Structure 1
Amino acid sequence: MISYVTVGVRDIKKSRAFYGAIFAKLNPDITELFEIPGKDKETQEDGVVEVIYGDKARPDAPLFALIRPFNGEPATHGNGTMVAFPAANEDIVKDVHAEALRLGGRNEGDPGIRSDEGIGWKLYLAYFRDLDQNKIAIANIEALK
């Protein structure tokens, strides 16, 4: 259903280090696939303006991109916007959340079970804000038996 998601960032280098560590804990198959060089339209400096992450073995899988906004305006977080990454189990949800906080992210919801009433799924989630205040969820979702 989703092809890719982009989040605007103020500092590609810092965000690249942050998400590199997050994806290493979340799923080692998610790696940096490529970067796009160019002129930053806000700072007018040459450098990397986009970094793309994904699973190289699965070209049909969704991609995640860190970008310097194309319109030259400052990168800001969206109010009500959130990106959720799937985790294979509850321990990974906990580990990734802890890593995000260790790297300077801000807690937006401790790991735990969220409401499972009426939908037939067990939702184990954790939330944090990244270095640019983008809201991120780590989700382990299982069908109830």
Structure 2
Amino acid sequence: MFTHIMVGTNDAPAAKAFYDGVMGALGHGEGMLMNEGAAVLYRTETGMFMATTPRNGEPATHANGGTIGLFAASPAVVDAAHAAGLAAGGTCEGEPGPRDIMPGAYGAYLRDPTGNKICLWHMAAG
């Protein structure tokens, strides 16, 4: 359904440190700094994720109510990615654990250094 997701950042190297930790724990490779250090790109066989400074030169801000969900292969991967994100400058928006929204759901929430909200999400087969 998606080709890419892009979020704003005011500090691409800080975003890279945060997302390298999170994406690494999720089983993805290290990001690549691009555009003379103004953006970081993560690419998989199914799509791309990028954190970049806004092209209009204005400060990046996060979406009010916006959340980007990232697939995790197991609850242990959710836990690891959450810990990696905290260690790399993120803030907790919801501790890892079962979610009552759906049976078998397990998730955690983080904000990156710019304030973008991400969800680390695993759904048990059912």
Relative to the length of structure 1, the TM-score reads: 0.79
**SS at structure 2 position matched to 1:69:** coil
RMSD: 1.6
User: Any stretches of 5+ residues in structure 1 without a counterpart?
Assistant: 38-46
Alignment of 1:97-112 (within 5 A): 97-112=82-97
Pair member with larger Rg: 1
| C-alpha deviation, 1:116, in angstroms | 4.6
CA shift for structure 1 position 20: 1.1
Aligned 8 A contact 2:20 2:29 in 1: no
Identity %: 34
Q: Greater RCO between the two (CA within 8 Å, min separation 6)?
A: 2
Is this contact kept in 2: 1:52–1:64, CA < 8 A? yes
Structure 1 contact 116–122 (Cα < 8 Å) conserved: no
- The whole-number CA distance in structure 1 between the counterparts of 2:23 and 2:101 is 27
Cα displacement (A) at 1:104: 2.1
Name the SS for the 2:16 alignment partner.
helix
- Per the TM alignment, residue 35 of structure 1 is displaced from its structure 2 partner at its CA by 4.1
Aligned-partner Cα distance in 2 for 1:36–1:107: 28
How many angstroms does 1:30 deviate by? Answer: 3.7
TM-score, normalised to structure 2's length? 0.90
1:87 maps to 72
129-138 vs 14-23, greater mean Cα deviation: 14-23
Matched, 1:15 2:46: no
